[in-house]
Amino acid sequence: MRNFRIRVGFVAAFAAAALVACGGGGSSSSSANVRLINATLTHASLSLLANATSAITADPVDTASAYVGVSAGSPTLQINDATSGAVLATTAPTVAGNQHFALVAYESGGNVRTAVIAEDTTAPATGTASLRIFDTATDAGAIDVYVTDPAVDITTLSSPTFAFVSSTSVQASAFLSFGPGTYRIRVTGSGNPSDLRLDIASVVLTNQEVATAIITPTTGGTLANGAVLVQQGAYTASRNTNSRVRLAVAVSSNATVTAAAGGISIGTGTGTGVVAPAIGAYTNVPAGSAINISVNGSSIGAPATALTAGSDTTLLVYGNAGSAVASLIADDNHLPAVTTNFKMRLLNGVTGAAVPLSLDINFAVVASSIAPGAASSYAVVPAGTAGTLTHFDVTSPSSLTPIYTANIPIPGNSVFTLFMLGDASAPIPLLRKDR
């Protein structure tokens, strides 16, 4: 493997130019070969219509269909849910006659999106294989990709194999040459090899093979799913098996709380616990693993909800120290669609009284009657210009005046949670930037 890195700044224009061939290669009567890849999160099977004619009837999740012929040029390709028939996405890529293309359907923030990958790249020289990275997980932000021997500790490396800048558009790298063999592909946050977003433990590259590693979004918006597409060959999905979870401690009387999932401590690396009120950083834990929680050394019941793969989750422990309870709250760390907006929600962790809370931003209601132990949905709010302050009011039906008021500069293209913790007699606001 070549020991150098590629920094990737190519966006949609590159994808259109380099991954999808020009349409002038065939006459209007010629056909292009297209196959559908179902990399979605919530659609068990997809169908494809080409120019309103059924082309693929059922492509199961994590599989690639057989090739079908579609009109060369810019055919209208429509993706439907194969069960309900609901239209999920429509695209009109430029495809050349007698060429091969993979139409990748993936999901981000609840919306199905598509990308087209050309599959007629010239095979590399004998004794080598070619690999590139195709990044559709734009909400993961700037990322690094390491392609190494499976045993390599990436924290000891001076640089990644590929580096992707933060972008709102799909990005693709150039091909790199590798010797045939078994490799491991790891995706991390930019500049932080300890911030593991995806680990594909074993990828076999064969002689003169052309392969594309595809990175797709997850439900939480920060972790990534992956797959390897061999040109005109096999498609192998590699779903993320982890969940990111953080500990939010809102137990009264400055109680000490410890939590772990799958044997991994949440909130503190030492496992010695955190003193309420506090909010910890996200930790990667195995999805579906049992959660163990204790307050002042006594175990309490874990939430019935399971940690789902690819999710970001807040584990909230709240209430009186002697009768504390825990809940799992799903976090949506997808960035707002418009970069000048920010996302904000209210999480009510106040103890001592079962009082719902509401949040106003710039004197408009964005969260109403949020019960203790729950969080509001996310509100999308325009960010002010540089130096502009955003006005916050948290209100309670037990108080004639807001229990929290602040004017804070909030940047766009970000995700926040306003935690209200502590006792009802003296609530403590903690504003956290989640993304």
Q: How far is CA 432 from CA 188, 273, 294, 402, in A?
A: 22, 20, 24, 20
Instruction: Give yes or no: residues 103 and 27 share one domain.
Output: yes
**Of the residues 331, 354, 372, which one is the last residue of a structural domain?**
331
Task: Determine the pLDDT at residue 374.
Answer: 94
Q: Is residue 62 part of a domain?
A: yes
> Is 359's pLDDT higher than 80?
yes
Please report whether residue 212 resides in a domain. yes
Instruction: Out of 174, 206, 238, pick the residue that ends a domain.
Output: 238
Pair 241, 64: CB distance under 8 Å: no
Q: Is 16 helix (H, G, I), strand (E, B) or coil?
A: helix
Domain membership of residue 57 (yes or no) is yes
Q: Is the pTM of this model over 0.85?
A: yes
Kindly indicate the confidence band of residue 268, based on its pLDDT and cuts at 50, 70 and 90.
low
pLDDT of 3 reads: 42
Residue 246 structural domain: 241-331
Point out the domain boundary residue: 238, 253, 270: 238
Strands 129-135 and 341-348: unpaired
Name the strand (E) or helix (H) holding 14.
Answer: helix 12-14
| 145 and 25 share one domain | yes
**188 and 66 share one domain:** yes
CA distances from 16 to 19, 43, 92 (A): 6, 26, 12
In a domain, 1, yes or no: no
DSSP percent split of the chain into helix, strand, coil, nearest 5: 5, 50, 45
- Let me know: does 262 contact 285? Beta carbons within 8 Å: yes
28 pLDDT higher than 50 = no
Per-residue pLDDT tens digits for 277-311: 999 999 999 999 999 999 999 999 999 888 999 99
Summarised one tens digit per residue, pLDDT across range 212-262 is: 999 999 999 999 999 999 999 999 999 999 999 999 999 988 899 999 999
Number of domains in the chain: 3
Q: Is the peptide bond before 180 cis (omega within 30 degrees of 0)?
A: no
* Residue 26 in domain: yes
Same domain, 105 and 246: no
Q: Are residues 49 and 131 in the same domain?
A: yes
pLDDT in tens, 408-432: 999 999 999 999 998 888 889 999 9
Same domain? 155 vs 259? no
Q: What is the mean pLDDT of residues 65-79?
A: 97
Q: Using CA atoms, how far apart are residues 230 and 44, in angstroms rounded to an integer? A: 22
Burial class (CB in 10 A: 0-12, 13-18, 19+), 241: middle
Q: What is the mean pLDDT of residues 84-97?
A: 97
47 and 179 co-located in one domain: yes
- Say how far apart CA 130 and CA 215 lie, in whole Å: 17
The count of other CB atoms within 10 Å of the CB of residue 154 is: 17
pLDDT, tens only, 132-150: 999 999 889 999 999 999 9
